[in-house]
Amino acid sequence: MSIKTILSHKLKGEAIFTDDIAPDNMIYGYTVRSEIPRGTILSIKIPELPGGYICADYKDIPGQKFFSTFGEEIPYLAEKKVHYIGEPILLLCGPDKQKLQCLGEQVSIEYKAETPVFSPLHAPEENIFDIVTYSKGSFSGLKDNPCVSVKDTYTTGSQEHLSLEPLCAVSLWNEKSIIIYASTLYPYHIKDNVALFLGVSKKRVKVIVPDVCAPFGGKLFLPTMIAAHTSLLSYMSLKPVKILYTREEDITCSFKRHPAVMTHEIVTDEEGNLLGIYADIIFDAGAYNVMSRRIIEKAVFSAFGMYYCDHMELKARLVKTNKIPSGYFSGSGEIQSLFALECNTYKIAQKVKTDPYIWKKKNISLDCEKRSPPNPGKYSSCIAVIDEVVRISDFLRKYGAYEAIKKPGECGTVSGATPRGIGLVLCPHIIGDFYETETNTYTLTLRLGKNRKLKIMTSLIDMGTSKAAYFAMIASHILNIHISEVIIEKTDTDNVPDTGPTIGSRAAYNIGKCIEQACESIKCKEKKKGYPIEVTKKINLPVKNKKNAKKIPFTPPVITWEGTVVEVEVDPVTFITTCRGIWIVLDPGPVVNDEIARQHVEAAALQNFGFATMEVLEFKNGKVYQNDISEYTIPDITTVPDIHVRFIQNRAGIKHYPGRGLGDQAVTGVAPGYISALYQATNNSYTHLPCTPESIMELMQNR
C-alpha cells in the first residue's frame, strides 16, 4: 500500500484496529484484580459459573508464569502475593460481556494485608531496585569559598499515555498453534513470551499487529500480559477470546511514567562561572522493576546535561512501591532530570543577574567529549541550536523587557502591564535508547523484485505513516526508485523478522541506519546478480560499547540537541496562565520529510506541555484516583498553544541518512521552559509538575 493509500484508509475509517477483529464464535475475557496494594491471597471464592463460562488462575498456566520487561520478571497472574491494586489474579471468559462482569464482581478474595509502601522516600533499603552513584572533585568542599548556589527539590508526577485506542488482544487457539492479534509496539515480545507461557514452540505462535494507536511508547510490555491472558483463555475454552480494556482499566492498570523526586543544586562563583552540580534523584518504580537501568542511565546523563564541570556529585535510585508499575514513556528518565537541571540553571542565572542565554553559553561545556568516544557532530550543533531558538523567539529582547518592568518580589509590573515571563532551555536527547546488546538477534529484511519494487520486512510498528514514509525515502534515495515502489510488509511474525521494540528514536536512527546499509548492499548486488535480491541485516547500531557501558555518567553514542523557549502571561489577580508561544529548534541531522518531522515535534511538545500544566494522576492509598478521561485532562485543540518548530540540519558524521534521530522522541524543554517563564513572571519558584492554575494560585496566596 502506498503512503497515500494508507492515509486514505485511515481517514475513511478503514484502518483495522485490534478491537475491530471479531472471529466467529468469539467470546470475551475479564480480569479479576487485586483490591489491596500489598498482601497475601488467602482464599478465592468463585461464583457458580453458567455453561460456556470458565475461569483460570496461575495454576492453569501450562508454561512459564512470568514475562520479561528488560528489568525484572512480572507474573501474568498473582500466585500468592499481590503488590499493587489492579494486579491480575484471575481470568474469566464467556460469551456475554455484561454477565461476565457480573460474575467477575462476585468473585470474592480474602487477603492477609501487609503494610504497603506508597512513597519511595519512605521505602526500606530492600526496596531499591537499582542505584547509581557518581562523584568527581569535591562538591561539598566548594562551599568553603565564597560562591553562589541554588538548591531546590523538584517533583514530577505520574503520567498516563492515554492512548485513544484502549489495550486489546484477541487470541485463537486451534489445538496446534495460536494466532494472536494485539495492539502492541513489540510483537516478538508477545511471540517469545507467549510461547514460553503456553509451553509450545515459538513456531506455533503467530502474532499479527493490526493498526495501532500507541503514543509515547505506551504499549511496549503490557500487551504481552494481555495477549497471554487471551491465549490462556482460548487454549482452555477452545474458542477465540478477546480482552478489551475499559477506559477505567486502561488508565488504572497500565504502566505509567515514573514519578520522581529530585534534589538539585548548582554552585557558581560570583560571576556565574559554573563550579559544581549536585543531583539526588529518586524514581518511583511502582510494584515491579520495568527497564530500570535504561531509565536511570538517561536520568544520570541528563542531570548534568551539557554542563560538565570539576565538581559533580550524583545519586540516582529506582525504588519499589506498592503502586501500579512505572514503565516506558518516551523521554523516560531524561524528562524528569532535565526539568530539575534546567529550572535550576535559569534560577542561578537570575541570581547572578545574567540572562539565561549568556549564562548557558558561558557554561556549556563542549568538553563533554571527554566523557565519550569522539563522535564528530555530537556536540557541535548545541550552540547553533540555542542561538537559533533565541533568535526566532526574540528571547533576548523579551527577557530584558520583562525583567525591566517586573515589580521585585511579586506578580506585577511597574507599568501596570500583565506580567509575562520567558524561559530558555537547552536539552540533549539520547537517541536509540534501547541499546542493542552483543547478544541481540534483531534483524530486518529487504527484497528487491524484478520490477524494482522493494519490500521492507520489519516488525516495527507504524502508527502514522511516518515510518513507512521515512524508510521509503531512504530506500528511494539510495536505490533510485520511486517512493510508491517501496512496500512495507504488514506486521505478522510469520512474514517479518524480529526487529525489536518500536521506539521512535530507535526506529529513526538504528533502524534507519540499517535500511541504509541494506540498500547499499542491494545496490552492489544488483550489478552482479539477478532478481530478486534479498538482504537481511542485523541491527547493531549504536552498540553501547563495553568500555562506555561501565562509565558513569555514561555518554550515549548519539545525541540530538533541543533548544526551547516558552513564553507565558499571568493574570495577577486570578493567576490564570496563558502560554503565548513555544519555540523549538532541533538538530536531528538531515530531515527526510520536514512536514512529518514538524508534526512529530509538535505532538511531543504538546505532551510535554500537558505534563507541565495539566496531566495529574494521583494515587489515594495506592489506587489511581483519576479513572476516566474527564478526570485526567490532556491538551486538546482548544488548549494547544502556538508551537514554532525549526530544524538545524547538521550533517556532521552522517553519510546520507538517517539523521541522528527524531522519530517520536520526547521534547523535554517545554516543562522547564514553562516553569522558568512562570518564575520570571511571578517571582515565585514552582517545583512540582504538573503546575496547574490551582497550584499557582495556592502558592501565590500562601506567599
Partner 1 sequence: MKITFTLNGKKTTIETSPEKKLIDILRLDLGLCGTKKGCEQGECGSCLVLINNNLINSCLVPAFRLGGKDIMTIEGFSQTKEYSMIEEAFLKKGVTLCGFCAPGVVLSIANLLSNTSTPSTGEIRDALSGQLCRCNGFLSLIQVVVEVFRIKNRKKNAKRS
Is 238 a binding residue for ligand FES by CB under 6 A? The answer is: no
Q: Which three cell numbers stand for residue 137?
A: 572533585
Residue 16 C-beta: closest distance to ligand FES, Å:
15
Binding site partner of 640, from ligand FES, partner 1, none, Cβ cut-off 5-8 A by kind: partner 1
Question: Residue 289: helix, strand or coil by DSSP?
Answer: coil
Contact between 474 and 654 under an 8 Å Cβ cutoff? The reply is: no
Measured from the CB atom, is 516 or 664 closer to ligand FES? 664
- Cα distances from 645 to residues 164, 283, 334, 512, 639, in angstroms, run 25, 31, 21, 23, 18
Is 640 a binding residue for partner 1 by CB under 8 A? The answer is: yes
Half-sphere exposure of 683 (CA within 13 A, CB side): 15
Instruction: Enumerate residues 442-471 that contact partner 1 by CB under 8 A.
Output: 463-466, 469
Contact between 296 and 318 under an 8 Å Cβ cutoff? The reply is: yes
Residue 171 C-beta: closest distance to ligand FES, Å:
24
Sheet holding 178-182, edge to edge: 54-56, 88-94, 27-33, 241-244, 168-173, 178-182, 205-208
Is 602 a binding residue for partner 1 by CB under 8 A? The answer is: yes
**Out of 68, 127, 177, 246, which residue is the one contacting partner 1 (CB under 8 A)?**
246
Segment contacting partner 1 by CB under 8 A, of 77-85, 548-556, 632-640, 682-690: 632-640
- Burial environment of residue 274 by CB neighbours within 10 A (0 to 12, 13 to 18, 19 or more): buried
**Out of 49, 107, 128, 213, which residue is the one contacting ligand FES (CB under 6 A)?**
213
User: Got the DSSP string for 337-364?
Assistant: HHHHHHHHHHHHHHHTT--HHHHHHHH-
| Residue 317 phi, psi (nearest 5) | -145, 155
Q: How far apart are CA 659 and CA 504, in angstroms?
A: 13
Q: Which three cell numbers stand for residue 662?
A: 527524531
Measured from the CB atom, is 244 or 511 closer to ligand FES? 244
Question: Residue 581: helix, strand or coil by DSSP?
Answer: strand
Is 20 a binding residue for partner 1 by CB under 8 A? The answer is: yes
Is 600 a binding residue for partner 1 by CB under 8 A? The answer is: yes
Contact between 460 and 490 under an 8 Å Cβ cutoff? The reply is: no
Q: How far apart are CA 364 and CA 383, in angstroms?
A: 9
Instruction: Enumerate residues 183-242 that contact partner 1 by CB under 8 A.
Output: 211-216
Residue 593 C-beta: closest distance to ligand FES, Å:
17
Measured from the CB atom, is 250 or 280 closer to partner 1? 250
Instruction: Enumerate residues 468-487 that contact partner 1 by CB under 8 A.
Output: 469
Is 114 a binding residue for partner 1 by CB under 8 A? The answer is: no
Q: Which residues contact 575 (CB under 8 A, 6 or more apart)?
A: 411, 682, 693, 696, 697, 700
The contact pattern for ligand FES, residues 150-169, with x = CB under 6 A and - = no contact, is: --------------x-----
Binding site partner of 364, from partner 1, ligand FES, none, Cβ cut-off 5-8 A by kind: none
Binding site partner of 257, from ligand FES, partner 1, none, Cβ cut-off 5-8 A by kind: none
Residue 649 C-beta: closest distance to partner 1, Å:
18
Residue 258 C-beta: closest distance to ligand FES, Å:
24
Q: How far apart are CA 616 and CA 625, in angstroms?
A: 10
Residue 213 C-beta: closest distance to ligand FES, Å:
4
Number of residues that bind partner 1 (CB under 8 A): 59
Measured from the CB atom, is 244 or 290 closer to ligand FES? 244
First to last CA, the chain: 60
Is 426 a binding residue for partner 1 by CB under 8 A? The answer is: no
Is 366 a binding residue for ligand FES by CB under 6 A? The answer is: no
**Out of 1, 552, 634, 654, which residue is the one contacting partner 1 (CB under 8 A)?**
634
Return the residue nearest ligand FES (CB atom).
Answer: 164
The residue type of 641 is P
Binding site partner of 620, from ligand FES, partner 1, none, Cβ cut-off 5-8 A by kind: none
Q: How far apart are CA 418 and CA 412, in angstroms?
A: 7
Binding region for ligand FES (CB under 6 A): 164, 213
